[in-house]
Amino acid sequence: MTAPASARSDFVLSIVAGLCSLALFLPLAWPLLTGRVFVFDDLQNFHLPLRYLYANALRAGHVLLWTPTLFGGLYLHGEGQVGMLHPLHLLLYGLLPLGIAFNLEFIANYVAAFVGMFCLLRRLRLAIDSSLFGAMLFAFSGFQLLHHHHLNMVAVTAHLPWLLVCLDLAIASGDPRHAAAGYWGTAIVLGSELLLGFPQAVWWNLLAASGFAVLRAYETSRWKRLAPCALAMFVGTMLGAIQLAPTLDAAAHSVRSQLKTSFALSYSLSPWNAIQLWSPYFFVKRAYSPTEYLQVHELGIYTGAIAAVAPIWLVIRHRALGRRATLAAGSAVFALLAFILALGSYGGLDILLAHVPGLGALRAPARYIVLAQFALGILAAIAFDDLVHGWRRVDVLTRRQALLLCAIAAASVLTTVLWNTHILPVPAGVPVASAAKAVSGTAFVVAVTVAFLLAARHVQWAAAALIVITAADLGFWGLRYVYRNPPQPIRAVAVAMPPASRAGLRVVSADRWANRLILSGYEIVPGYMGLYPATEHPPAGRWFQAMAGARWNVAADGSFTPIPDAQPRAHLLAAAVVERADYPVGVASAAEQADHAESAARVAIDEPGHIVVDVRTSAPRILALTERFDGGWRVFADGAPAQAVPIGGDFLGAAVDAGTHRVEFRFSPRSFAIGSLLSAVGAIALVVAAVVILRQRAPAAQPPPASR
């Protein structure tokens, strides 16, 4: 093929890859264009209601560290999953209507993943068409689409290619200014990840980043540059400390700190799920879980037939890959390691996952599959690049090589013909789909294999067909899951109940409603969150609910039942009563009523994390609030520091002397103060690094060290 003809072909393939990526992206952007939002699972039950609170707080000028809306009071910033101090979130929810901001946050994850992967593959010297193909594979991978409702998890994984781009710049660049910019970028990207409040995904990214940094240092013989990279990651951790420190604090005081080690191994990937790699619709519900409730998004590991076919091509062509052979081998080893980690209790690394400090609080080992899919995406991009640009017109595919390329398709056909028709017995309890359902997955595997074979035989249109088929494969697997619940207007997400008669009316909600009552102005006990605070009394019990001031119990059918003994927002108790951790709520009410004629507690200011009460009493009392106790509360009586008192171990109070007083409660946790200080130091270090970068001069051009 002549050079102009080759350039035209590359341009056509780039256009095809770009259009296919756009076709996969548009369904994700459709709700933004139609005034709707995606509502599956956590999107409507968790993320949207909490972002509603966040947006309202920004408009009111509040810093929403604490919210009274969940659990009788919750360290919401420590819970983390709103990412309230991330610059993008501050911009979106501070300036735009909720629906637009929510949609833009959602689609930004896929834009960031696509552009980041494209930049990474270009840094690794893949052609534009191959880089677009690889970017499509990562941005719309099985993990990214099936986990679309885990907003901040997908947002953190979208940072992964950007982190590797910065590390590659820091390690492989011959220009010291570019290398310094790489260190700077590494810190910023890591800090951005941490501000999103999902440490588990940051841990995955650090695993991949560490392996990639070692690989690139080996390839370029620049081992000394690993030290500045480690320093950049330390600075990035400091930048994110304003979120990380509160999250660690909230986790330490949550029920997760009390869970058994088996929690870390929940949602381990059963080895049976490996069948998805060559037969994606083998199971009735796509995936299989022998011991737990089946969550397809946790156990669905398919990410396109190309991910299984491409590695075979690289095995066939390993001697011709040249400088990419090391990258391909490293990616393959990393994909295998990630898959073993995803197996959890089935993979032999359960001791590591359950007992290493910090990892024991992270559940669902199956989520390590995101690292395997990322590595497989790199392998597929390398294979495509070699197929289109490295496989010369004179090269011929031998019969043995062709048969080897057909191995995955053959396995898929045999699986469907023999197992899905029950010609071969399947172990009891394994839910096998009908052959009619499984054949759609087999069709994609066969089609990808045929397109690959035709491209290897130099059929001109085959590479473009391979891109189109792969895009259809990803969309059929992932977008169908995204659209299993059609997008809805926000008004339809709110539970169809009368709006709260007053702001902050606190109710006990049925699990069915999750947090959606928040959108109608209600406060919820206990509510749905990731880090449930540890309490002395069960949140579902009468004592906790009454002390939280919950007035009504909202049943699954929407009916309201009054809750007896619900306490007022602020009330006075006798010290002798408070000393009993299990005192009956009725006793507190009687004490308050007996003292009512000469004592009173009136709430003057009631804002999230800031409560002011005017108290009048003829004898020393305990001022009790229907706000949950937390070590971050600070109390001031008439402007002087006072001691916060845990009422029954769970609710907030303060001792007051006889007389008239103004008692102020402010939520000011030490973890936030420490995190803020560390982030400020990290920001200063970043600015100093920027000044150093700008003052450096570019040296004379020198060729980079040859890759091994």
CB 591 within 8 A of CB 574: yes
Query: 298 and 396: one domain?
Result: yes
> Is 635 a member of any domain?
yes
- Asked whether residue 396 is domain-assigned, the answer is yes
Q: Is the CA virtual torsion 108, 109, 110, 114 positive or negative? A: positive
| Number of compact structural domains in the chain | 3
Q: Do 658 and 549 share a structural domain?
A: no
Report the C-alpha dihedral over residues 649, 650, 651, 652, rounded to 10 degrees: 60
Angle of helix 98-123 relative to helix 87-95, nearest 10 degrees, comes to 150
Judge contact between 272 and 409, C-beta under 8 A. Answer: no
> Which residue type does 331 have?
S
The pair of structure tokens assigned to 68 is 């009274």
Residue 91 lies in a domain: no
**Backbone phi and psi for residue 305, each to the nearest 5 degrees, phi listed first:** -65, -25
User: Which pLDDT belongs to residue 695?
Assistant: 72
The reported pLDDT for the residue numbered 107 is 97
pTM score:
0.92
Residue with tokens 């919750």, as numbered in its chain: 74
Where do the H-state alpha helices sit in 221-346?
A: 226-239, 241-252, 296-299, 306-316, 324-343
Domain boundary among 545, 562, 579: 562
The reply to whether 412 and 550 lie within a common domain is no
User: Hey, what are 401's tokens?
Assistant: 């090589």
What is the pLDDT, as a whole number, of residue 701? 47
Q: If we measure between CA atoms, which residue out of 13, 284, 304 comes closest to residue 143?
A: 304
Does 536 lie in the same domain as 576? Answer: no
Alpha carbons 408 and 442: distance in angstroms, whole number: 10
Is 450 in the same domain as 537? no
What is the Cα–Cα distance from 326 to 456, expressed in whole angstroms?
A: 23
Domain membership flag for residue 416: yes
Domain of 612, in residue numbers:
570-668
| Rg, the chain, Cα only | 29
User: Residue 609 maps to which CATH number?
Assistant: 2.60.40
d(CA 37, CA 483): 11
Q: Which residue has the tokens 């009631």?
A: 606
Same domain assignment for residues 269 and 307:
yes
**Burial (Cβ within 10 Å: 0-12, 13-18, ≥19) of residue 565:** middle
Examine the domain organization and report whether 303 and 280 are in the same domain.
yes
- DSSP SS3 for 347: coil
Residues 405 and 537 in one domain: no
- Do 556 and 598 have their domain in common? no
In a domain, 507, yes or no: yes
Question: Residue 2 domain-assigned?
Answer: no
Instruction: Find the helix packing angle between 462-474 and 128-139, rounded to 10°.
Output: 20
Angle at 240 between CA 38 and CA 141, to 5 degrees: 40
pLDDT value for 708: 38
Q: Is the residue at 181 inside a domain?
A: no
- Structure token pair of residue 506: 């606190």
Strands 505-509, 552-554: pairing is parallel
Secondary structure element (H or E) that encloses residue 471, with its range? helix 462-474
Residue 438 shares a structural domain with residue 372 = yes
Q: Do 575 and 554 have their domain in common?
A: no
Residue with the two structure tokens 């081992």: 223
DSSP category for residue 344: G
Domain limit, last residue, from 562, 588, 617 = 562
What's the rounded Cα separation, in Å, for the pair 402 and 413? Answer: 17
Is the link from the previous residue into 526 a cis peptide, with omega within 30 of 0? yes
- Residue 164 domain-assigned? no
Please choose, from the candidates 690, 681, 571, the residue with its C-alpha nearest in 3D space to the C-alpha of residue 627. 571
The CA-based angle 377-382-388, given to 5 degrees, is 125
How confident is the chain (708 residues) per 10-residue block, as mean pLDDT?
66 96 98 96 94 94 91 94 96 96 98 98 96 98 97 97 97 88 95 96 96 96 93 96 96 83 84 96 95 92 97 94 93 96 86 66 88 98 95 86 96 96 89 95 97 94 97 97 95 75 72 82 90 91 91 81 88 71 50 55 93 93 94 95 93 94 96 97 89 64 47
Which of 503, 535, 562 finishes a domain? 562
Same domain, 301 and 405: yes
